[in-house]
C-alpha cells in the first residue's frame, strides 16, 4: 500500500489567516489526509510556520518586539486557529528552530559541493544615511512600469511587476526614511537553476500529464525557454547564517530555507514516531509526496524546490501538486492590509467547525477562483447542510429512537437492505466518492456525499414511515432500518469533511470501531453487513445536528462588510 507524505504551505508568521488560506490549502490537505488514513494508508500531514524574511522584520520592528517573540506569537495564533477548524497535523513546527537550521545547512552544503551555488556580484541599493542595504521590501519607490508611487523593492502591488529594486524611481529607505540612496555592487550567492534545467525538464515531463492544467501550463511556460538563476542570500540580521567564511553576515533568503521546513519538520516528527525521516519518508520511492499550495506558490513548489531536491539528492521531488486558485470575498481579493477580510477566528467561534468546514469546502477553488459571501454561507448551511443531512438524520434517528427505544430493530429488517438495488447504488456511490478523493477533487467529493444525502432523504419521504407505522409497524421497522444504514454510511463519509458532525452521527450507534468505520467508508460493507446482523438499539436520544444560521445575523454581517 502506498504511503503518503502530505505538506501544506507553511503559513507566514506575520498576520492572520483568512478563508482563502483555509479553503485553498489547509482544509483540502486535512480532508485528503483523513481520507487516506480511513482507507488504511500510512500518511502524515506536515507543516509549520515560515518565520524568516523582511516582512516579518519590518512588522516586528513596528510592534517593538524581538523577531523571535513576534513569530512565536503568530505561530501560536495560527496553530490554535487550525485546532478550532479541526485541521490536524502530525507535526506543525517552526523555521526559526535549531533543527530547521541544521537541515537547511545540509541542503546548502550538498548543493554547494555539486557546484550548483555560485557567487555573483549584484547591484543593490544602499542607504547612505543609515548604511543598511535595502533588499526587497526595505525600499519603496515609484514603479518604472506603471508609475505607482508605493512600489516595493520586490513587487509592485498595483501592476504586479516583479521589481528590480535598483530600477525604482525616487527610492526611499524603509529603515530611516532617507532618500540618499546609492547603487553598490554586492556579492550574493545564487542557486544555479540554469545549470540544472535539462534534468529539471526531464523530471517535469514525468509529472506533467498527471498535474492540473492550471499548474502544468504555468510551469511549462516558465521553464521551457530555460531558467533564471536566483539569489539565495541576503544582507539581513534575521535568518539562517550562510556557512561560508566569505559570506559572513549574510543570511539565507527566506524562500531558500522555507520549503526545507517540510523536511526538517518531518525529521522532528520522526524523533517521536521512531522512524527515519529520509529512509522512511523523503527518500522512500514508495511514498507519494503531495504539496497543497495556493497558485502564488507554484514557482517555488513546482520548479525551485523540486530542483533543489533532485540536485541535492536530499529528498524525492513532489509527486502531486494540487495548487488551488484564489477564494475571494464578494468577488474581490482578500487583503489584510486594506482591511478587506473576514476574521476567520471570530467566524469559527460563532458558527463552529461543521458550518465553516462545509461552506469553505464548497468554495475550494480547484479550477477557478471562488467567492465567499455571507448570503451564500447562509444558503449553504440552511438549505444544504441543515435541510439535507441534518434533517434526514434527525428525522430518521428520532423516529427510530421514539418507536423502538427499548427493544430495538431486529437483524432481518437491516439484512433485507443488502438484497436491494438501493444497496448496490449506495455501494457504487461510496466507491465513487473514494475515487474522487483519490484524485484530490475534494470539492466534488463533497457534492457526491450530499447527493447521497439527497437519495436518503427521498427514500425516507417516499416511504412515509409516519403513515406506515399506523397500519404496519413491522413494515415501518424495515423502512427505518434501511434509513439507519443510510445514516450510518453518511456518518462514516462525513468523517473526512465534518469530523464533528460525523462523530455525533456515529455516537447514535452502539459499538462502532475503526475497522467497521473503514469497511463502510471504503464501500466494502463486509463488516457492515455483519454489524447489522444483530438487533440495533440506539444509544441515545438524537438531538438537532445542524444549527441554522439566523437571517438577521447574516444581515448584520453583510452590513459590516459593506462598511469596510
Ligand atoms: Zn536608511
Ligand atoms: Zn507598477
Q: Which residue has the cell 475534494?
A: 442
How remote is the CA of residue 131 from the centroid of ligand 1, in Å?
6
The domain that holds 160 is classified in CATH as 2.170.220.10
Q: Determine the distance separating the centroid of ligand 2 and the alpha carbon of 136, expressed in angstroms.
A: 15
Phi and psi at residue 460, to the nearest 5°:
-65, -50
338 CA distance to ligand 2 middle (Å): 18
CA 560 to ligand 1 centroid distance, Å: 40
One domain, residues 124 and 197: no
Q: What is the CATH number of the domain that holds 221?
A: 3.40.50.620
Statement to judge: residues 398 and 496 lie in one domain: yes
Average pLDDT over residues 479-494: 98
Question: How far, in Å, from the CA of 181 to the mean position of ligand 2?
Answer: 20
Which ligand is nearest to the Cα of residue 141, counting in written order?
A: 2
Same domain, 130 and 80: no
Nine-digit cell string for 263: 523536511
Q: How far apart are CA 137 and CA 12, in angstroms?
A: 15
Calculate how far, in angstroms, residue 165's C-alpha sits from the geometric centre of ligand 2: 12
* Mean pLDDT estimate for the chain: 95
Asked whether residue 1 carries a pLDDT value surpassing 90, the answer given is no
> Which of 390-421 are b and which e, b meaning 16 or more Cβ less than 10 Å from the residue's Cβ?
bbbbbbbbebbbeebeeebbeeebbeebbeee
Q: Ligand 2 centre and the CA of 153: distance in Å?
A: 11
Q: What is the pLDDT of residue 222?
A: 87
- The pLDDT value recorded for residue 54 is 85
Cell of 224: 521551457
Tell me, yes or no, whether 96 and 240 share the same domain: yes
Instruction: Report helix angle 473-497 to 391-403, nearest 10.
Output: 140
pLDDT given at position 122: 87
Give residue-wise pLDDT tens across range 136-190: 888 999 999 999 999 999 888 888 777 889 999 999 998 889 999 999 999 999 9
User: Do 338 and 436 share a domain, yes or no?
Assistant: no
Distance separating alpha carbons of residues 387 and 423, to the nearest angstrom: 23
pLDDT tier for residue 372 given thresholds of 50, 70 and 90: very high
Where in the sequence is the domain holding 428, given as residue range(s)?
Answer: 373-531
For residue 148, which ligand has an atom nearest its CA? 2
Instruction: Answer yes or no: is 325 within a domain.
Output: yes
The verdict on 109 and 240 lying in the same domain is yes
Residues 411-455: tens digit of each pLDDT: 999 999 999 999 999 999 999 999 999 999 999 999 999 999 999
Among the three residues 191, 208, 237, which one is the final residue of a domain in this structure?
191
Nine cell digits for residue 476: 415501518
What's the pLDDT at 458?
97
Distance from Cα 58 to the centre of ligand 2, integer Å: 22
Q: Which of 132-146, 372-386, 455-469 has the lowest mean pLDDT?
A: 132-146
What pLDDT was estimated at residue 50? 98
- Give the contacts of 11 (CB within 8 A, at least 6 positions apart): 17, 21, 47, 49, 50, 78
Ligand found nearest the CA of 145:
2
- Residue 539, in any domain of the structure: no
Number of structural domains (the chain) is: 3
Asked whether residue 10 carries a pLDDT value surpassing 80, the answer given is: yes
CA dist., res. 264 & res. 269, Å (int): 9
CA of 124 to the centre of ligand 1 (A): 14
| CA 183 to ligand 1 centroid distance, Å | 13
The terminus-to-terminus CA distance of the chain in angstroms comes to 51
CA 558 to ligand 2 center in whole angstroms: 32
* CA 133 – ligand 1 centroid, Å: 8
Question: Does one domain contain both 83 and 229?
Answer: yes
For residue 27, pLDDT beyond 90? yes
Pairing of strands 332-333, 327-329: antiparallel
Do 274 and 294 lie in one domain? The reply is: yes
**Beta-strand runs (E) in 226-365:** 230-231, 233-234, 251-252, 287-294, 323-324, 327-329, 332-333
Q: Kindly identify the ligand whose nearest atom is closest to the C-alpha of 144.
A: 2
Do the domain assignments include residue 555?
no
What pLDDT digit, counting tens, does each position of 505-525 carry? Answer: 999 999 999 999 999 999 999
Ligand 1 centroid vs 67 CA: distance in angstroms? 20
The domain boundary residue, chosen from 330, 346, 362: 346
- Assign 336 a pLDDT band (cuts: 50, 70, 90): confident
Question: Residues lining ligand 2 (ion), CB within 5 A?
Answer: 143, 145-146, 148, 156, 158-159, 161
Distance CA 52, CA 68 (A): 10
327 has pLDDT over 90 = yes
| Structural domain includes residue 351 | no
CB 74 within 8 A of CB 21: no
Q: What is the pLDDT of residue 132?
A: 85
Instruction: For residue 171, give the ligand nearest its CA.
Output: 1
Same domain as 383, residue 316: no
Q: Cα separation of 269 and 263, whole Å?
A: 10
The answer to whether residue 367 is domain-embedded is no
Q: Note whether residue 543 is domain-resident.
A: no
On whether the CB atoms of residues 519 and 54 are closer than 8 A, the answer is no
ipTM: 0.93
- Would the pLDDT of 397 be above 80? yes
Q: What is the CATH number of the domain that holds 377?
A: 1.10.730.10
Same-domain status, 187 and 197: no
Q: Which residues of 240-277 are buried (b: 16+ CB within 10 A; e: fewer)?
A: bebeeeebeebbbbbbbbbbbbbbbbbbbbbeeeebeb
CA of 137 to the centre of ligand 2 (A): 14
- 296 falls within a domain: yes
- Candidates 277, 472, 294, 420; CA nearest to 369 is 294
Domain co-membership, 36 together with 77? yes
Confidence of residue 499 (pLDDT cuts 50, 70, 90): very high
Nearest ligand atom owner, CA of 149: 2
- Identify which ligand lies nearest to the alpha carbon of 142: 2
Which residues line ion ligand 1, judged by CB < 5 Å?
A: 127, 129-130, 173, 175-176, 178
Domain end point (choices 135, 167, 191): 191
- The ligand with the least distance to the CA atom of 128 is 1
Q: Which residue has the cell 437519495?
A: 455
Is 255 contained in some domain?
A: yes
197 lies in the same domain as 185: no
Q: How far is the C-alpha of 434 from the C-alpha of 452, rounded, in Å?
A: 13
Q: Find the 238 Cα to ligand 1 centroid distance in Å.
A: 18
> How far is the centre of ligand 1, averaged over its atoms, from the C-alpha of 128 (Å)?
7
**176 or 499, greater pLDDT:** 499
Q: Crossing angle of helices 442-463/391-403, nearest 10°?
A: 40
Which ligand has the nearest atom to the CA of 157? 2
Amino acid at each position: 500500500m502506498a504511503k503518503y507524505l502530505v505538506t501544506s504551505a507553511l503559513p507566514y508568521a506575520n498576520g492572520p489567516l483568512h478563508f482563502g488560506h483555509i479553503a485553498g490549502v489547509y482544509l483540502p490537505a486535512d480532508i485528503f489526509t483523513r481520507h487516506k488514513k480511513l482507507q488504511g494508508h500510512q500518511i502524515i500531514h506536515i507543516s509549520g510556520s515560515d518565520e524568516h524574511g523582511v516582512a516579518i522584520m519590518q512588522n516586528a520592528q513596528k510592534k517593538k518586539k524581538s523577531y523571535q517573540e513576534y513569530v512565536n506569537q503568530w505561530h501560536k495564533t495560527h496553530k490554535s486557529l487550525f485546532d478550532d477548524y479541526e485541521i490536524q497535523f502530525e507535526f506543525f513546527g517552526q523555521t526559526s528552530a535549531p533543527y530547521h537550521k541544521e537541515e537547511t545547512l545540509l541542503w546548502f552544503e550538498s548543493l554547494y559541493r555539486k557546484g550548483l551555488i555560485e557567487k555573483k556580484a549584484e547591484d543593490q541599493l544602499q542607504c547612505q544615511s543609515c548604511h543598511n542595504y535595502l533588499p526587497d521590501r526595505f525600499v519603496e519607490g515609484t514603479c518604472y512600469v506603471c508609475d505607482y508611487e508605493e512600489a516595493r523593492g520586490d513587487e509592485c502591488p498595483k501592476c504586479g511587476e516583479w521589481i528590480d529594486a535598483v530600477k525604482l524611481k525616487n527610492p526611499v529607505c524603509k529603515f530611516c526614511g532617507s532618500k540618499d540612496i546609492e547603487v553598490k555592487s554586492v556579492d550574493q550567492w545564487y542557486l544555479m537553476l540554469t545549470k540544472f534545467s535539462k534534468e529539471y525538464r526531464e523530471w517535469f515531463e514525468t509529472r506533467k500529464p498527471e498535474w492540473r492544467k492550471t499548474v502544468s501550463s504555468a510551469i511549462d511556460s516558465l521553464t521551457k525557454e530555460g531558467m533564471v538563476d536566483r539569489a539565495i542570500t541576503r544582507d539581513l540580521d534575521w535568518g539562517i547564517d550562510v556557512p561560508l567564511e566569505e559570506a559572513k553576515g549574510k543570511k539565507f533568503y527566506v524562500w531558500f530555507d522555507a520549503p526545507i521546513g517540510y523536511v526538517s519538520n518531518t525529521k522532528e516528527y520522526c524523533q517521536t514516531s521512531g522512524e527515519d525521516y529520509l529512509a522512511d519518508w523523503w527518500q522512500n520511492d514508495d511514498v507519494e509526496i503531495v504539496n497543497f499550495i495556493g497558485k502564488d506558490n507554484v514557482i517555488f513548489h513546482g520548479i525551485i524546490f523540486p530542483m533543489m531536491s533532485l540536485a541535492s539528492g536530499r529528498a524525492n521531488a513532489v509527486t502531486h501538486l494540487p495548487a488551488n486558485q484564489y477564494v475571494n470575498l464578494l468577488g474581490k481579493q482578500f487583503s489584510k492590509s486594506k482591511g478587506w477580510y473576514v476574521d476567520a477566528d471570530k467566524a469559527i467561534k460563532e458558527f463552529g467547525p461543521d458550518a465553516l468546514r462545509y461552506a469553505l469546502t464548497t468554495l475550494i477553488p480547484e479550477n477557478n477562483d471562488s467567492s465567499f459571501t455571507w448570503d451564500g454561507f447562509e444558503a449553504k448551511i440552511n438549505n444544504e447542510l441543515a435541510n439535507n443531512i441534518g434533517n434526514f438524520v434527525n428525522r430518521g434517528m428520532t423516529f427510530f429512537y421514539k418507536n423502538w427505544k427499548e427493544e430495538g430493530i431486529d437483524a432481518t429488517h437491516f439484512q433485507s437492505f443488502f438484497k436491494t438495488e438501493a444497496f448496490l447504488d449506495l455501494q457504487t456511490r461510496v466507491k465513487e466518492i473514494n475515487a474522487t478523493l483519490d484524485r484530490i477533487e475534494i470539492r466534488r467529493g463533497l457534492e457526491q456525499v450530499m447527493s447521497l444525502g439527497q437519495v436518503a432523504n427521498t427514500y425516507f419521504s417516499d416511504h412515509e414511515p409516519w403513515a406506515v407505522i399506523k397500519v404496519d409497524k413491522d413494515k415501518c421497522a424495515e423502512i427505518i432500518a434501511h434509513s439507519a444504514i443510510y445514516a450510518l454510511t453518511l456518518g462514516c463519509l462525513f468523517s473526512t469533511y465534518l469530523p464533528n458532525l460525523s462523530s455525533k452521527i456515529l455516537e447514535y450507534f452502539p459499538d462502532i470501531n475503526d475497522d467497521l468505520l473503514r469497511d463502510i467508508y471504503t464501500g466494502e460493507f463486509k463488516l457492515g453487513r455483519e454489524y447489522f446482523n444483530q438487533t440495533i438499539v440506539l444509544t441515545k436520544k438524537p438531538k438537532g445536528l445542524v444549527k441554522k444560521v439566523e437571517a438577521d445575523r447574516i444581515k448584520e454581517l453583510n452590513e459590516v462588510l459593506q462598511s469596510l
